[in-house]
Structure 1
Amino acid sequence: MIEFVIAVFFLLITPGPGVLTTAGIGAAFGFRAGFRFVAGLCLGGFITMMMVVSGLAAVVFAVPSLRTVLLFASVAYLVYLACRIASAGSKIGFAPAEAPLGFRNGLALQFINPKAYVVATTLFSGFAFLPHSPLLEVVAKLVLFNLIWVPVHLIWLAAGARVRRMNLSQRTQQVINIGMAVSLLLVVCVALLASG
């Protein structure tokens, strides 16, 4: 179980589309504005995990043409997002918006987020600690996962909100943008490796 908790922590602490967008909402609109988006991410993550645990994701991804379309759509979106982040000027990687992304956006993001499937597959197919009680193990993994997932996303939201209050130099902002973009491209690499 300790190995599972360590794996969850390291899989979640690395920036992916969900945490980067959460930080962006915090940076653009503040901490309170991001709660609905994080709630959508949470429900979307739960549904994604259930799709993986039930085997539905495996059935969908077993259709080669559908799997290819979904993979390219996800990769294209993530590359686009990485380019937008890397090329952002004085903003911290996010284009200005009229209103924060809400619950539906958070929910939808998890379905096209390849990292969500990679994480769920890794955590639920590996790290068996209750082999004689698979249902109890799934429930325990869900509880442990969310005990880490929720605080990690709230920390990213708070970090974004803190960036909003800072007056960073142009150079520092560019370094942050490039770091965020590289992180997203690493997610793309993970998605491509997982698809092979």
Structure 2
Amino acid sequence: MATFALAVFLLLITPGPGVLSIAGVGAAFGFRAGLRYLAGLFIGTNLVALAVVSGLAALVLANPVIRKVLFVASTFYLLYLAWRIAFAGSRVAFIEAQSQPGIGAGLLLQAINPKAYAVNTALFSGFVIFPDALTVEVVVKFLIVNAIWVPIHLLWLWMGGVIKRLNLPQKIQRVINITMALALVGVVALAIIAAF
């Protein structure tokens, strides 16, 4: 079980669309605003885990057309999120506090987040804990994953919020937002490279 928990920690702490976007939302809009987005990510990641455990994800992703559509959708959505984060600290008129990503945006990100599917597949299909009790194993794994997922994502959101509260000059805030956005674009680039 300790090996499983360590694997969960390492897979979740590494930068991916979820942690990068939650840190970016925290830096751009603040901790409190980021909690709604975090709730969406949380619900979404658990729905992805359920899809993986039930076999629904494998069934859907076995279709190459659906796979390509989801890949293109995730690529464009991550680029859109990167754009929103990069320009959140600017004076662009149509990016105001009312357009902060909320629960729906977090749900959507996880639904099309390739890392969410890969991580959940690795965690739920590997690391056998209770070989003779599949239901117990799945429940225990959900508990462990969420017990690690929540603090890690709260930490990333908090770090983003700290950057926001530092009340840095607009130029530095913009550099931070652009850096986080570029990191998300880097994840997209890696996903595209891995797909070909």
Q: Same fold (TM over 0.5)?
A: yes
CA distance in 2, matches of 1:24, 1:82: 8
Q: Which amino acid in 2 is paired with 1:142?
A: F
* 2:124 is the counterpart of 1:124: yes
**Contact 1:118–1:191 under 8 Å retained in 2:** no
CA deviations on 1:78-128 (whole Å, 9 max, x unpaired) are: 34545776788879xxx6543422222212221011111111111111111
Asked if structure 1 preserves the Cα contact closer than 8 Å seen for 2:27 and 2:177, the reply is no
**Aligned in 2, Cα 1:25/1:177: closer, same or farther, shift over 3 Å?**
closer
Q: Is residue 43 of structure 2 the alignment partner of residue 75 of structure 1?
A: no
Inter-partner Cα distance in structure 1 for 2:29 and 2:81: 19
Residue 58 of structure 1 is matched in structure 2 by 58
- The separation in 2 between residues aligned to 1:34 and 1:193, in whole angstroms, is 30
Contact residue 15 and residue 180 of structure 1 kept, 8 A: no
Q: Give the equivalent residue in structure 1 for 2:101.
A: 101
**1:26–1:33 CA contact under 8 A, matched in 2:** yes
Flag structure 2 segments of 5+ consecutive residues without an equivalent: none
Structure 2 CA distance for partners of 1:33 and 1:87, relative to 1, 3 Å: closer
Q: Is the 8 A contact 1:86 1:177 kept in 2?
A: yes
- The alpha-carbon distance between structure 1 residues 17 and 97, as it changes in their structure 2 partners (threshold 3 A), is farther
* Alpha-carbon distance between aligned partners in 2 of 1:86 and 1:101, rounded to the nearest angstrom: 13
Matches within 5 A, 1:80-95: 81-82=81-82
Distance 2:130 2:180 in 1: 37
Which one-letter code corresponds to 1:154 in the other structure?
L
Matched to 2:131, the amino acid is: P
Contact 1:19-1:153 within 8 A present in 2 as well:
yes
* Paired residues of 1:115 and 1:190 also in contact (CA < 8 A): no
Displacement of 1:76: 3.4
**Structure-1 residue corresponding to 2:141:** 141
Q: Which runs of 5+ in 1 are unaligned?
A: none
Taking the aligned partners of 1:60 and 1:178, their CA distance within structure 2 comes to 35
Aligned letter for 2:125?
S
State the shift of 1:136 in Å. 0.9
State the Cα distance separating 1:29 from its structure 2 match.
Answer: 2.9
Q: TM-score, normalised by structure 2?
A: 0.81
Equivalent-residue separation in structure 2 for 1:99 and 1:178 (angstroms):
18
1 CA distance for matches of 2:3 and 2:178? 32
Q: Identity over aligned residues, as a percent?
A: 55
1:32 is the counterpart of 2:23:
no
Deviation digits for residues 148-194 of structure 1 (CA, Å, limit 9, x no counterpart): 10011111111111000224468865764565345435533664577
